[in-house]
Structure 1
Amino acid sequence: MRVPLILCCLALAGCSNPGLDYRGVPAMRVTQAGYTFDLYYNGRSVRGIRMNPSRPVSRTHFRRAFYDAVGATLGCSVLGSTMDGDLVMLTVEVYCPS
């Protein structure tokens, strides 16, 4: 009984983990168009994790909100069509003028 419980806890602990590329990067909590994102910027790309539990209105609306959140928070431009991800986590490559 303990092993399944421990495995379940470990799986849930990784739900809001941005991954190894963003290790040590602090999260910036942003709300845009009804979605709350934790944004992680590592100098060349941004990963966003949707924190609110409600299902997005549509994939297009969700992606646009993320795109706008990156621009408004970091002042960066998203490079071309580099957006990748799903309805929970998105990653984009960015250009941030110094």
Structure 2
Amino acid sequence: MRLSLLLLCLVLAGCSGPGLDYRGVPATRVAQAGYTFDLYFNGRSVRGIRLNQTRPVSRRHFRRAFYDAVEATLGCHVLGSTMDGDLVMLTVDVYCAG
């Protein structure tokens, strides 16, 4: 029983992390259009995790807020066709000149 509880805690703790591709990458906290994101940039892509409990107005509004947060924070161009995710976590490829 204790082992089951420990495993459950470990699984739940892993849900709040950005994933293996972003291991060791510091988060940049950004507020955009009523959402708060932690952005993780690994040099070629960005993963954003929505932190606040505000219910998104719509999927389009949420994705646009993420897009704007990435471009404003990193100064990189978002490759929009690569955006993938849900209403909590999104990942997108970016192009950074220079």
TM category (shorter chain) comes to over 0.9
Distance in 1, matches of 2:59 and 2:90, equals 11
2:93 maps to 1:85: no
1:72 is aligned to 72
Higher strand share: 2
Q: Give CA deviations for 1:41-93 in whole Å, capped at 9, x if unaligned.
A: 00100000111122211101100000000010000111141100011110000
2:4 is aligned to 4
**Deviation of the 1:4 alpha carbon:** 3.3
Letter in 1 for 2:96: C
Q: In structure 1, list runs of 5 or more residues that go unmatched.
A: none
Aligned CA RMSD, in angstroms, stands at 1.1
- For 1:1-98, list aligned pairs within 5 A: 1-98=1-98
**Deviation of the 1:11 alpha carbon:** 2.0
Superposition TM-score, scaled by structure 1 size: 0.92
Letter in 2 for 1:75: G
Distance in 1, matches of 2:92 and 2:38, equals 14
Superposition TM-score, scaled by structure 2 size: 0.92
Query: Which stretch of structure 1 is more off in the superposition, 13-22 or 83-92?
Result: 13-22
Distance in 1, matches of 2:71 and 2:85, equals 18
Distance in 1, matches of 2:36 and 2:19, equals 19
Q: Percent identity?
A: 82
Distance in 2, matches of 1:17 and 1:39, equals 11
Contact 2:80 2:92 in 1 (8 A): no
